[in-house]
Amino acid sequence: MRAKEPSFVGFMKTIPKNIFSGLVVSLIALPLSLGLAMASDAPPIAGVITSIVGGIVVAIFGGSYVTISGPGKGLVGVVLVAVSTLGLTTTYAAIICSGVLLLILGFLRLGKLADYFPSSAIQGVLAAIGLIILGKQFHIMLGNKIVRDNTIDYLIAIPETIMNVFQYEDSGLINAAIAGFISLIIMVFYSKIRNKYLQLIPAPMWIVICSIGFSYYCEFVLKIPNPISEKYMIPNIPSLTEVMGNLPVPNFKAIYSLEFWGSVVALTLIASIESLLSIKAVDKLDPMKRRSNVNKDVKALGVATAVSGLLGGLNVVTVIAPSSVNITNGGSNRLGNLFHALFLMIFILLFSTELTRIPLSALMAILVFTGYKLAAPEMVKRVFLIGKEQLLIFLTTLLVTLKIGLISGIVAGLIITFIIHVIANNSLGLFIKNIVKPNVLMYKEENGNYFISVKHFCSFLNFNKLKDKLSVIPEQNDVIIDFSLCEFVDHSVMENINDYQELFYKKGGNIGVIGLEVLATKSEHPFALRRLLPLQNIIPNNKTKRQNNLEQVAHDFGLSFTPLRRTKNAFLENFIYFKTKKIEHVFNRLSAKKHPYQLFDIIYSEGEFIAKEVIRSTMLYIKTSANVPVFKLDREGLLERLYALAGYRDIDIKNHVDFSKRFYLRGENERDIRAFFTDELVLFFESNAYYHIESSKDGLLVFSKERIASIKEIKALLDFGYRLNAIINKS
């Protein structure tokens, strides 16, 4: 499966879509940039400068496709420390140096630095950063600006701050706290509401719009000054000309001090880790399944960081939440990143004074939510499920990062992981003797499969050797990884292999892992089988009322009911609808062996990180013969007309004005689609309830809403599907 060769015409066609996605991305990037910069004790405009420089430079020089670059959440902790110990101008110098360092890393092809860190330790560092952000900003969100020595003290003070809110004398502070609280509510509940108009604007932008609207409402309707305390409003934002006029002069005086270089290294390390993790996650979401050139991207990020530092911005990294928004909104190449930067520039040009109407507490609510997402209890639970020792690694890294610092935290994570591995194997020799050995063998078998055999041990220490081999295999191939000559395989490796498995699976290949059983039986190996298998329903008899009803429906329609989860659902991956979404699993399936129908509840997610939305829905899949053209049929609404402006074409069927007006029909092959939509079929659609209908090459997907359907709706859906299939088979 080759990606289409880019042609000029094809490229021109992508422009409108990317302008659109760039616009939506800029809406989420603006509040995030402001907030992240303020959280790092830098002037708010620094964040926007970072996004603009990052967007332009990385769009031009980068090696990834749909990523968005800007200020990173992970760097908040590092910049915060740098600003407090070195001062702002010296921090700019450190940022410039770290940009150069990143560039060098890119040239040395060390962009994959993150591969050498055990994944639980990385999780620990990220959680610590989350707590740093959350701990500090929580107080500002509730109108209680306090200064403490370290993050743990900030966290301890949280209950106190909550108590304080109820004792505020100053109404300005109370209002600030209310604004913060409402914003947090918006962030939390936004993803739960499925409304396409509401969802068009990302939650952080809603907060901005609401606060600016409220401020104008007070000024012009109530004719009172803004009731939120002056101290809790965003300080003055300079216009673009002012920014260019007063460029900060980076202070390189501290260049010979250890602290300076400590900051440079920490900035570089965290920037590369965050970017790499994001690129990896974004590549998984890319509907065109392209492979990002990581080293090229790291080089571009390095250049962007250096330029950004010169202009008074922060480190540029690949940011996950805006990137996922870019994909969801149809961004298809680096133009999305470029346009997001241009839109941000326009915002600052036109609305820089408007932005000062945003309460600081509201902005910080976005960051509190971001921090919470990084350190959420689910993360801890996930790590714990993998193994107790992983939790130990996680917590050690977390605590050391909080107590001492980021670099110490990562080093501690590395050391504790290694110690645990040594204890688990009861052998230090295994690692010392074999670490430099080229322990991975790859060859192509006669039938075209790739066979990889790994010897001795495979852990975060030498995973790069296995990775080097895996990354040179075209993803359409079948690969067998044999661990039977291996004495030890650690969790980081299993997790990474799992990522590769997903990647291969998506592109039509397959990775089989064999030989782990040997490990498990030889000794009770603590890591070998530490694979995150989805927990199957343990007691299938324990059915809910809905499941009992579903069983009844299945019986009525001559189908059988299975409540068990299924995670591999290749037939769904072919649908356009799921191209930008991640399917978790399907469950409560109604199917029968000889029937073409399959009805199921499904859980899938859209977007990543704070822009992640988990959606539950009920869908009907009908297996059809191969001559149904690929199309997508929806109810036509305002949004669809908007999409049409962005370059998505609506196919009209001749002589059916009503149908063409009410339905929004899309597909590549117009001629076949027109031929397929016979009068009878059109009439059928006109006279029945609306469903979202999509066809892949050999199947139809029918569903109505992005939520779990009731029993009544399921009956209607099944009935609709049966009749639809009958008509299709007739023609």
Partner 1 sequence: MSAITFKTIGIGVTFSPNLEANINEAARLALCFGSKLVLIHVGESSEKKSNTFRTFLSPFENQGLEYELFYKSGDPVDVILTSTKEKKIDLLIIGALKKENFLKYYLGSIARKITREASCSVLLLINPSIDRVPCKHIVVNGLKDPKTKETVNAAFLVGHKLGVGKITVVEEIDQEEVSVKVDDDKSLRKSTIIKERLRLREEARVKKVLDSIPADYTKNITIKSQPIFGKRGYSIGHYAQVARADLLVMNAPSKMTFWDRLFPHDIEHILTELPTDVLIVQ
Residue 381 near partner 1 by CB under 8 A: no
In the complex, minimum distance from the CB of residue 304 to partner 1, in angstroms, rounded to a whole number: 19
Query: How many chain residues interact with partner 1 (CB under 8 A)?
Result: 29
Q: Does 449 bind partner 1 (CB under 8 A)?
A: no
Q: Which of 123, 229, 263, 292 binds partner 1 (CB under 8 A)?
A: 292
Instruction: Indicate whether 467 belongs to the interface with partner 1 (CB under 8 A).
Output: no
Q: Which residue, 215 or 292, has its beta carbon nearer to partner 1?
A: 292
Per CB under 8 A, the segment of 16-24, 433-441, 541-549, 670-678 that binds partner 1 is 433-441
DSSP string computed for 537-586: PS-TT---HHHHHHHHHHHHTT-EEE---B---HHHHTSGGGTTEEEEEE
Match 């050995």 to its residue by tokens: 437
Nearest to 307 by CA among 95, 110, 104, 106: 95
Nearer to partner 1, 485 or 675 (CB): 485
* Angle, helix 294-310 to helix 258-285, in steps of 10 degrees: 130
Q: Does 444 bind partner 1 (CB under 8 A)?
A: yes
Using CB under 8 A as the binding rule, whether residue 427 contacts partner 1 is answered as no
Contact of 103 with 303, CB cutoff 8 Å: yes
Binder of partner 1 out of 442, 518, 553, 644 (CB under 8 A): 442
| 496 is a site residue for partner 1 (CB under 8 A) | no
Among 170, 468, 556, 658, binds partner 1 (CB under 8 A): 468
How far is the C-alpha of 579 from the C-alpha of 706, rounded, in Å?
Answer: 16
Give the burial string for 253-269 (b: 16+ CB within 10 Å, else e): ebeeeeebbbbbbbbbb
> Could you say whether residue 568 binds partner 1 (CB under 8 A)?
no
Report the residue number, 64 or 390, with the smaller CB distance to partner 1: 64
- Span interacting with partner 1, options 233-241, 273-281, 365-373, 464-472, rule CB under 8 A: 464-472
Question: Interface with partner 1 includes 290 (CB under 8 A)?
Answer: yes
Does position 469 bind partner 1 by CB under 8 A? Answer: yes
Q: Which stretch binds partner 1 (CB under 8 A): 46-54, 164-172, 287-295, 556-564?
A: 287-295
Give min distance, CB of 291 to partner 1, in A. 5
Q: Terminal CA-to-CA distance of the chain, rounded, Å? A: 32
DSSP code string of 426-460: T-SHHHHHHTTS--EEEEE-TTS-EEEEEEEEEST
Show the CA angle centred on residue 441, arms to residues 436 and 447, nearest 5°. Answer: 170
Rounded-to-integer distance, Cα 535 and Cα 540, Å: 12
* Sequence-distant (≥ 6) Cβ neighbours of residue 280 within 8 angstroms: 499
> In the stretch 382-421, what mask flags binding to partner 1 with x, by CB under 8 A?
----------------------------------------
| Per CB under 8 A, 102 contacts partner 1 | no
3-state secondary structure of 482: strand
User: Is residue 259 close enough to count as binding partner 1 by CB under 8 A?
Assistant: no
- 3-state secondary structure labels for all residues of 30-97: HHHHHHHHHHCCCCHHHHHHHHHHHHHHHHHHCCCCCCEEEECCCHHHHHHHHHHHHCHHHHHHHHHH
CB 394 within 8 A of CB 149: no
Does the protein bind partner 1 through residue 432 (CB under 8 A)?
no
Stretch of 150-158, 166-174, 355-363, 447-455 lying at the interface with partner 1 (CB under 8 A): 447-455
Which residues partner with 69 through β-bridges? 318
Binding to partner 1 in span 29-88, by CB under 8 A: 63
522 makes contact with partner 1 (CB under 8 A): no
Piece in contact with partner 1 (CB under 8 A), picked from 67-75, 362-370, 470-478, 597-605: 470-478
Residues 354-373 that bind partner 1 (CB under 8 A): none
- Taking alpha carbons only, the member of 253, 241, 76, 64 closest to residue 151 is 76
Q: Which element (helix H / strand E) includes 282?
A: helix 258-285
Chain residues in the site for partner 1 (CB under 8 A): 3, 63, 109, 290-296, 436-444, 451, 453, 455, 468-469, 471-472, 474, 482, 485
